[in-house]
């Protein structure tokens, strides 16, 4: 695998998790990566202490790693186990409280790409009410992101692993993208194309790439089955990433896979060292 026209970044919330959070940026840099992304690291704190934010900022800067993507608060991942976007009351308020904090933290590091996970259905609230609230919260996030000229990402998860999530197909995610853009008039919502989730849903990945790359601002990969590194499953990443390039996708490819039993630093043998730096 060569991928000469592709820029890769590593997700520090699923790789290098054998290390403490503040040690991960340096470990990623030692493995050759200069670009990283994160799920919201404080799963129970949408608004963490300023000292914690400062420590993570320093760890990223000191390591020489560039933050290129950040999830808004969504509870404990993987999951998510909370539908922060769509649950009336405290959870919705926690999501909204997180948005300006996350935007400012990312902005201070030059990052303008934000993923808002839709969350799970909950009992006792109609799906219509949950979807209405989710759209209001996504519009709120899109407006905040627009202040830093950023992009709001909408991701489809997969039904086998997230059966309570209502966004489990590329067309459904695109519907949400379009709804947010219509609600705000900002046109800064885009699709996060996670090829692992889509393959778990049984979608035709080539068709997804051909139809939706124009509305895609970030791509994530893991092999299927197993959610391991490319080459551990059955997906043909040479063909898929080549197809993305031909469809004019020129953004990052986020590595969001499980390293297996070995240390994370050993999980990149499939990727030539000269393809890991993203300057």
- Residue 85 CA, chain-centre distance (Å), reads 16
Instruction: Report the C-alpha dihedral over residues 253, 259, 262, 266, rounded to 10 degrees.
Output: 0
104 flagged as catalytic: no
d(CA 264, CA 140): 36
256 flagged as catalytic: yes
Strands 7-11, 216-221: pairing is unpaired
CB-CB contact of 6 with 276 (8 Å): no
Half-sphere exposure of 133 (CA within 13 A, CB side): 24
What burial class does residue 147 get, using C-beta atoms within 10 Å of its C-beta: 0-12 exposed, 13-18 middle, 19+ buried?
A: exposed
Residue 165 neighbours by CB distance under 10 Å? 22
Q: Which of 155, 175, 203, 279 is catalytic?
A: 155
Q: Which of 37, 91, 203, 256 is catalytic?
A: 256
Q: In the chain, where does DSSP find H-type helix?
A: 24-30, 50-63, 90-108, 127-146, 170-184, 195-200, 205-212, 237-246
Query: Which active-site residues does the annotation give?
Result: 155, 256
């Amino acid at each position: 695998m060569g991928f000469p026209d592709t820029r890769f970044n590593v997700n520090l919330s699923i790789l290098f998790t054998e290390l403490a959070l503040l040690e991960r940026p340096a470990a990623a840099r030692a493995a050759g990566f200069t670009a990283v992304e994160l799920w919201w690291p404080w799963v129970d704190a949408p608004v963490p202490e300023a000292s914690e934010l400062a420590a993570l900022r320093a760890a990223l800067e000191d390591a020489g790693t560039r933050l290129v993507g950040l999830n808004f608060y969504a509870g404990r991942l993987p999951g998510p186990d909370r539908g922060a976007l769509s649950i009336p009351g405290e959870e919705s308020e926690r999501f909204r409280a997180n948005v300006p904090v996350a935007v400012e933290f990312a902005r201070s590091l030059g990052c303008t790409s934000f993923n808002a996970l839709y969350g799970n259905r909950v009992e006792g609230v109609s799906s219509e009410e949950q979807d209405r609230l989710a759209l209001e919260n996504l519009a709120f996030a899109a407006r905040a992101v627009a202040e830093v000229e950023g992009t709001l990402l909408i991701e489809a998860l997969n039904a086998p692993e997230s059966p309570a999530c209502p966004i489990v197909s590329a067309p459904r995610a695109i519907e949400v993208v379009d709804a947010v853009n219509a609600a705000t008039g900002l046109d800064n919502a885009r699709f996060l194309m996670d090829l692992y989730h889509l393959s778990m849903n049984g979608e035709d990945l080539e068709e997804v790439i051909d139809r939706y790359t124009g509305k895609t601002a970030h791509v994530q990969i893991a092999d299927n089955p197993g959610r391991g590194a490319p080459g551990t499953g059955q997906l043909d990443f040479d063909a898929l990433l080549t197809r993305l390039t031909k469809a004019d996708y020129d953004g990052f490819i986020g590595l969001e896979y499980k390293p297996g039993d070995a240390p994370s630093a050993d999980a990149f043998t499939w990727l030539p060292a000269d393809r890991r730096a993203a300057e």
